[in-house]
Amino acid sequence: MKAPAIAATEFASRRAQVLRALARDGNALGVVLAGDADASLSHAWRPNPNFEYLTGITDEPAAILLLDPGHPVKARRVQLYLRPLNPELERWDGFRDEVGSPLKSRYGISTIMRTTAFSRALLESARRAKRLACLHSLAAHNAPISPDLAIFKESAARIPGATISDLTKTLPAMRAVKSTAEVACMQRAADITALGFAAAVAAAKPGNSEFAVQEAVEHAYKSAGSRETAYRTIAGTGFNATVLHYHANSKPIQAGDLLVLDSGASFAGYAADVTRTFAVSGRFTARQKLVYDTVLKAQLAAIRACKPGAKMSAVDAAARKVITAAGFADAFIHGIGHHLGLEVHDADPQTALEPGMVITIEPGIYIPSESLGVRIEDDILITRGAPRVLTAAIPK
């Protein structure tokens, strides 16, 4: 079976859509940055998801995309800037391509230069446009301001009459509605995740450790073509099942435990996000079954509420109504779910659901005093008809 992928023409179409938004904003300039590499080499580098969404480029730290809808030369309305070649560094990290026709053809971008030329090019375009539009979220969690706003403030200070506008809702709205190709990638991530969960069931036996479950899951992902997990696997038993972001995965599994397994494969940059809860001894106690059945009923109610035009608050209320009626209102301590895509917690347009959106539905009940935790999570594609459960192949 041919692996799904995003075509270069789709990335070009996305860039064209952003160019149109910038043109409507007075031919404003837009800048999207890939982000710098982690100098410590402690983990694999991934570009900023907005940059990846618009280019598909995942191996060029510090790359910059300049979007200039008013440029008189059509070929220069999309400009890509890449780091200069560094032969000495590339002996360590791998050789990179010269800027030429093969590279331009691969990326579908005809104007590619080195980042040494970016500042001058931006200033020249800004003097003409006199309007700069922020596309990155202004509320950067790890910086005082977003990277494009920092660049624009410096440029605007040098150009009398230059203004900065806010188009930060543009990319979240685009990313929230998945294309056919994106859905295919997400379905593949879900299918690989199903293989991992099947391996987990075999490993989740009394006497094994939580880590053995994690190891089995992640080995299955890699064997099936997923190069990395979408996020850190959670494999919690007993009391650890009540800790939402438990990551130690170090406790021995004991007879009678419930295992909460929260994990997802990544494929072509797109995430799956799944949780299942099962009895490691193969049978629930009466109390465990009551809680499990309540969570499952709540999840099914929420999935039924996943219709075009519905708000996430209404979907949440559908699940919460079931859990409250069963007497567990105080034990459901988080929201019903989130958008899913290039990020596990993907860009959220803060709008009603519409066809093409993919969200998680993940109610849970957590009772630390009883060392009892249950969560069930699936990935849901909103359609014009009934919602499609991308992760339906994973038993629950």
Per-residue pLDDT of the chain (396 residues; tens, 9 = 90+): 456 789 999 999 999 999 999 999 999 999 999 998 765 555 678 899 999 999 999 999 999 999 999 999 999 999 999 998 887 777 777 778 888 899 999 999 999 999 999 999 999 999 999 999 999 876 444 555 677 788 888 888 888 888 989 999 999 999 999 999 999 999 999 999 999 999 999 999 999 999 999 999 999 999 999 999 999 999 999 999 999 999 999 999 999 999 999 999 999 999 999 999 999 999 999 999 999 999 999 999 999 999 999 999 999 999 999 999 999 999 999 999 999 999 999 988 889 999 999 999 999 999 999 999 999 999 999 999 999 999 999 999
Separation between Cα atoms, residue 1 and residue 191, nearest integer Å: 13
- DSSP annotation of 74 reads G
Instruction: Quickly name the fold that domain 177-389 has.
Output: Creatine Amidinohydrolase (3.90.230)
For β-strands 111-114 and 78-82, DSSP reports them as parallel
- What would the CATH number be for the domain defined by 8-175? 3.40.350.10
76 burial (CB, 10 Å; 0-12 / 13-18 / 19+) is middle
The domain ranges of the chain are 8-175, 177-389
CB 327 within 8 A of CB 262: no
